[in-house]
Amino acid sequence: MEFIIGIVLVFLLLIILRKIYRRLKRSAMAPLKNRRYLSSKDITKNMTLYTNNKVNIEVDPKTLAFKKPTGNPLVLMMAWLMAKQKHLKKYAQIYTEMGFDVMVVHITPWQLLWPAKGTQVVAAETLKFLENNKSYAPIVMHGFSVGAYQMGEIMLQMSRDMERYSSILDRFVCQIWDSAADITEIPVGVPKSIFPKNERMQSALRNYTLYHLKTFHNQATIHYMRSSQMFHSTLLKAPALFFVSENDPIGPPSSNQAVRENWERANIKVTFKCWQRSQHAAHLIKHRDEYLETLFQHLESCGVLESVGVAKRAKL
């Protein structure tokens, strides 16, 4: 009986995710319009470049190398689950207005549930892009929520060939983590991301997620655990900034604090900004001035602004 229930849950989940993904793909991945200094280009189905360059960007589909580099530094942005383009644009603009290109890496719920055919494929594509576009330096890492897991997958692949990938790590000059979520928050975060206003569907999907973690340990859960371990130990030693809030059940201060302590033991400089009340992966919306001021100070202290020619203490 339990097996039959599991099959039914999987079938229903696939139908739901398929409909949601199709709907969001039409809206979230549509070309940007009517934005004066911002344009976008899909590099892969999971990677979108935002830039203030008005020239047409040509990409080699096999290597993901740009035929002509833009000449801008890069922000590698790991999106939260089910992120919409109109929200990602707000973060991309912060950087494009300073002269950065922003590469947003986004994953689907299906890719998260089946890492070997999902998130690990996206991780390999991200590495391919970074490796074959060496002109992108310096690189700023800005990740949200499940993006912490995705970065863990990327670092796991790096760790298998450090001689090859160490030069990529050297190009990262700072990192920002907004509402970073760990493996323990997957049953909470996935349902809330997909059904933010439907508690009944959240409950159903939460039950399936728990079933998925238990039933597909080798196909899924073991990969989440390895990624989490890698994120806690980290290959990326650049100074870090964490944004969290006390009322966030998906990326709580406790799990982020555990990462902070591990990183500080590894001599990584960490700045920790915690609000009493805010919203998961939406601190910019709730606390715009404070968010930008803290972010700007972090970029300045890491020498990023000076390296890209932004005037000291300029306002975002």
Average pLDDT of the chain?
89
244 within 8 A of 253, measured Cβ to Cβ: yes
Q: What is the pLDDT of residues 264-282, one digit of tens each?
A: 999 999 999 999 999 999 9
If pLDDT is split at 50, 70 and 90, which confidence band does 30 have?
A: very low
For the domain made up of 35-186+217-307, the CATH class stated in words is alpha beta
Residue 18: the pLDDT is 60
CA distance 242 to 25: 29
Residue 22: the pLDDT is 56
Residue 17: the pLDDT is 58
What one-character DSSP code corresponds to residue 77?
E
Residue 163: the pLDDT is 97
Residue 83: the pLDDT is 94
Q: What is the pLDDT of residues 177-189, one digit of tens each?
A: 999 999 888 899 9
Q: What is the pLDDT of residues 148-160, one digit of tens each?
A: 999 999 999 999 9
CA distance 236 to 228: 14
Percent of the chain with pLDDT over 70: 86
Q: What is the pLDDT of residues 45-90, one digit of tens each?
A: 999 999 998 778 899 999 999 999 999 999 999 999 999 989 999 9
Residue 315: the pLDDT is 47
pTM (predicted TM-score): 0.87
- Both tokens of 156, joined, read 């796991």
What one-character DSSP code corresponds to residue 218?
I
Residue that has been written with the tokens 């390296």 in this structure: 307
Peptide bond into 196 cis (omega under 30): no
- Name the residue among 294, 287, 277 with its Cα closest to residue 241: 294
CA distance 83 to 165: 29
